[in-house]
Chain A
Amino acid sequence: MTASLERVLRAFLEDPAAPRYGYDLMKAAGLKSGTLYPMLGRLEDDRLVTSAWETPQQDGQRPRKYYRLTGEGIRLARLELAQVSASRPRAPGRPARPVPGSLG
């Protein structure tokens, strides 16, 4: 899993039920539009993300398209992120190696 995908999934999982616009995701994940949209397209192809158009509003604004994770997407994203966290080196702040003698 690439770092950009990880950031997008984390942004989605902040509130899995909330609809997310492309620009919101860009801000939340800190990605460029050129990176985000192809990734959303791939996730949609894999049926991990679903998209819908918002209902047209009275103020004449064009309807925006929003994305949210599918049930399968939520499950897989949690799994993948958990694996990434487990395989990652220890979080900063903890000693990188056990202090000699501390194990025994």
Chain B
Amino acid sequence: MRGDRSLLRIGGYLIGLASRLLPGEIRDERCREWTAELPAILRDPDTRLAAHRAARMLGYAAGAVWGSALAAGGARGRLTAVMAVVVGLLTANSLMLAVLGILGAANAPGDWVHYYSIAAGILYLAGLGWVLARRIRQAAKPLEGVRDAVLAYTAFIPSWLLSLLLRAVGADSSDLPGQTGAPSPPAPGPVQPAASAEQAISLARDTAGRFYRVRCWRPGYQIAEVDELIARIEATLTTGTRPGQAVTAADVQAAKFRTTRRGGYDEQVVDEALDHYAGALARLALSPPPERFK
């Protein structure tokens, strides 16, 4: 009997939901009528299995919700409006997916995630066009065709979610293992001065010699800008550029990078590495000029 009570509570909740969808003048009466039917269904002598009766009762309540949502003209309009907004958002998102994929492929060719997002965006838009065209052809009135197409198209939501998931996974797999969670750099720790700059910098880089990249949708430094500055620092430190073109510690500390949400470098990692570089440059400036400048 306790089970019955909780079942009746669920049914009552659904009935409440259903009656809220109805116009005010019949709301209370329908609510009372449906609520009174629930225990009668649970005790229906024609249905032998208790589980069957419970399922019937819940089916009854769920059917009331569905019927109210469709019967109330306003509710149907609202439902369609919500669906239209959902589809609009999905379309905007897939357009963005395709455009960002093209930009990303131009920036970093070879990263399969970009090609995947281009394909997903195009497939999504093609699917939308196909469903719209088919439904409008089939429907007596074009507007009803659009409405049905919108409803049918929401079936694509799972595939869209899957594409988001795949993107996230793809972005992760382009990082090194251990860099999947929060942007916690492989902490170089309290590194000893002097010789440790190289070590700290190599720790901040993955096996391909690049800095750790952040997952998409989070801001990171533009890769090209960071690489360019690092190259100039390396040149100064190792080959000894002519003093006029050398990068100073002040230059490094004042450096600013544009950010991107498309898998840029982890800001914290780059900042730390640049601090070490700045230290190395400062020591270079203080040290007596090497023989090559004499």
Contacts and interface: CB of A to CB of B under 8 A. Distances in A.
B60 interface: yes
B66 A34 contact: yes
Given A23-B40, A23-B41, A33-B67, A62 B32 contact: yes
Contacts of B66: 32, 34
A21 B40 contact: yes
Contact of B46 (A27, A37, A38): A27
Contacts of B60: 23, 26, 33
Nearest to A54: B36
A36 B67 CA distance: 9
Given A41-B26, A64-B40, A33 B63 contact: yes
A36 B59 CA distance: 13
Main secondary structure of the interface of A (DSSP, over half): helix
Contacts of A26: 60
Interface in A13-59: 21-23, 26-27, 32-38, 41
A26 B38 CA distance: 13
Contacts of B36: 61-65
Contacts of B68: 34
Nearest to B47: A27
Interface string A75-93: 0000000000000000000
Interface in B37-93: 37, 39-41, 44, 46, 59-61, 63-68, 70-71
Interface residues of B, number: 25
Nearest to A34: B67
Contacts of A36: 67
B35 A62 contact: yes
Contacts of B39: 61-62
Contacts of B37: 21-23, 64
Given A22-B37, A41-B26, A61-B39, A34 B70 contact: yes
B30 interface: yes
Nearest to A67: B33
Nearest to A64: B36
Interface of B: 26, 29-30, 32-37, 39-41, 44, 46, 59-61, 63-68, 70-71
16 contacts: A21-B37, A22-B33, A22-B34, A22-B37, A23-B44, A23-B60, A26-B60, A27-B46, A33-B59, A34-B65, A34-B70, A36-B67, A37-B64, A61-B39, A62-B36, A65-B36
9 nearest A-B pairs in the assembled complex, by CB-CB distance: A34-B67, A33-B63, A62-B36, A34-B63, A38-B71, A65-B33, A34-B66, A32-B63, A64-B36
Interface of A: 21-23, 26-27, 32-38, 41, 61-65
Given A21-B37, A33-B34, A63-B36, 12 more contacts: A21-B40, A22-B37, A33-B60, A33-B67, A34-B66, A34-B70, A37-B71, A38-B71, A41-B26, A61-B39, A62-B39, A65-B29
